[in-house]
Structure 1
Amino acid sequence: MPLFFLSYARIPGDRRTGHDPDRLVFDFYEKLRDRVATHAGVPKAKAGFVEQPGTPGDESVRALTGCRVFVPLYSKRYFTDSLCGRQWTAVTNRTAPGTAPRIVPVLWTPYPAASVPTAVQDTPAVPEGTGDAEEAYAAMGLHQLLDLEEGQALQVTEWLAQRIATAAAAGTWAPGPLDPAGLARLPDAFAATPPSPPLRITVLAPSEERLPLGREAARYGPRPLDWRPYGPVAGGPVAEQVTELARNLGFDPEVVSFDKTLVELRGTDTPAAPWILVVDPWALHDAKVARQARAFDEAYRPWTAVLTALADDDPQTKEHSERLRGLLESAFPRYLREGRMGQQFAVRGLVTADAFALWFGELAESAYMRYLRYIQPQSSPRSTMAGRLPGVGADGLGTDEGGAEARP
């Protein structure tokens, strides 16, 4: 029996044309099998198994039920594939009492937090270390890394091979009987609806009673949560908009006060959720608020993100954009210095409502993945890469089709 079984979601396509849409899966499998064989000291033929077109069903089932390590290629497609869900059930159900299934997942392509099935949430794909290869893997997944960064892809493959060889040698081994018909009757482990992951949101903005001298009150209300940075054309207050955006992404959002944010960041207790701070730069004219913002920046945590609305349809904001940008640079130097490129753009200011909505989604999911990595064991981050979101320019103030980090 093979040491590992590679489980993947097949991409539909006409393989008779000679172009297999799963080519990268098989290329990766060959590299991984070679490295596992080396680390485990076994022949390549016994190191791994992957089901290829034409593989007999009984051969695949024997490999699945006899393998020592299950290696799923995580992607949004994987979590909706019923065969993959049944394979997961077969592996986790065949384990003897008192033993844990040995699963070494691979982040194949990044996926929305809300797509992760309940059965998988305790087994996320995790890069170890904080080097360039790990960050790139966490950001774009191995599929894209194999196409763009061969050297980094090889580093990740080597790390995965070491994990698989170690897992195969550890603990007890409990293969279980199953036939192809039995596999088809197993329940899909991914069919259950996962619970919504938490997300905290804080709006840092003045109320209409606490505006800086000369600032017009048209976009404000009695509470900071009434702030409407992009005017009436964008809908209701920004707090309502981001809450709805978070729900659409599959999160369970909670809007909390800035004071609560600071207390939790300064405390020693494990934070309950990733955090998004939405900033009106006009609020930073208040010395107390500016000090609080700097305290947030000094407590910089990987599972937090800052988004600034610097609307170009607001004549006052547009006129004073240089001064407002200076206030942001003074309040959030660490986010601007240490954050990834997209985070830096988001801090400097998003000029359109569309750009703001897109970046909120990007950074909410990135913060959640980083929360999993740093707060929960065996978890992974996912951050954004440079390139394709509209409304953000190289100066952070934005253009209609300016450069930004691309969605992983």
Structure 2
Amino acid sequence: MFRRSLILLIGFWIGSKFFSEAINVTNSRYRQNYHIIAPTGWLNDPNGLSYFNGNYHVFFQYDPTSSNGGGPKQWGHVTSTDLVNWKYTQPTIALAPDQSYDVGGVWTGSAVNNNGELTAIYTGLHNNTGEQLVNIATSTDGVTFTKYSGNPVVPTQPIDGTNQFRDPKVWKYNGVWYMVVGNQSKKNHGRTVLYQSDDLRQWTYLGPLADEPDNRVGSMWECPNFFYINGKHVLFMGTDVERDGDHFANQGLNVYFIGDFNYETKVFSHAVDFYELDNGHDFYAAQMFQDPKNRTILFAWMNSFGTNFEEMQDGWAHTLTVPRQLRLSSDGSRVQMIPVDELTLLRGTEYINSPIEIEGHDLRLYYDKQTGKLVLERTKDVRQVDMGSIMQLNLRIFLDQSSIEVFANDGNVTMSSRYYKDPIPTITLFAEYGVANVEFQAFRLNNIW
């Protein structure tokens, strides 16, 4: 069977060690060929993205015992030397919930290289109180971790916040460690709070980095990321935002602010407007890191809480996106995402003027010149985004066994969605009510698993 592992380049000129009972994968029909997936069971948020000891490290929320994510979360682990060919570490579970402060789950967090020691900073769910606590674990080889004897390093949420307190993201600036954590205020609006430390073990609360008291950006901010890029600071997070026409259509989505952060005053001054990071059906819990080439690289979980994930009946669930490089638009007003250059290493057979068949169902991607919108339609569930006034549309499309990722006009717009097979359609390029000049390339992409 031809497994859909394909990239399309189109230009339009427009006129375990904790759990012993892992479940088995019973059907591989939707298993991804070149995306990160769990060996079995459930996967969600990317965690601990880092480069250490010559390897890229991607950890992920993992439950090998079920495909519905019902068990306590652990950190699964894959590594790569090139961001393309990934291998499961042995053991695959890097962090398991085996202490009182995390027995309810080793939840989302980040990782940093601290003088030759890879330090994971993660959320633990306490077994007695149900509190969400910040803990750390360290590794000298990047595979085997030892939890800090003084955990939790942040034993309680801020006094002016609720117990919704999770997903620490850490970075270093001028010799000082900083950390943002997702939190909910006692007035039940989402916010990101800020900490600092000299040693990753003793943390001082500095107050809210950003919040929106009118609840227009949701009631809880998860998985915050804060970073400097192209002369600006960017804060993005996962949240729930009321739908506004074509915008904010998913039940869970990543949004971002762009602004300036003053390390002296600890004030983040940002624009009022906020934007979606991705405009498809399935994109959440994004995390970024800086790689040795000084690139800002992102992975996300392809999920939005509204999709019927058919692979769950097959003993596994979910996938991450391909790695993406972040940058700002030329005017500094938008975050752009493009596939990392290394993904060209996946290319195999090139198709030139040949019919290409993929398995799919009711999936349509088209540009409507009259409205100026790029539309991704999945089983009559539409996501569309205004492309503005353009004369040329360039699309780079990644198709895998059960996902599509669209990068339009050099990352000005991205759309990520899961999809599942039914009858086998053909990929068709067509123009209605006019003429389009088209250049087309397609490559079969190699299977890394």
The TM-score by the shorter chain falls in which range? under 0.3
Q: Could you state the TM-score of these two structures normalised by the residue count of structure 1?
A: 0.23
Structure with greater helix percent: 1
Where is the strand percentage greater, Structure 1 or Structure 2? Answer: 2
Normalising by the residue count of structure 2, what TM-score does the alignment of the two structures yield? 0.21
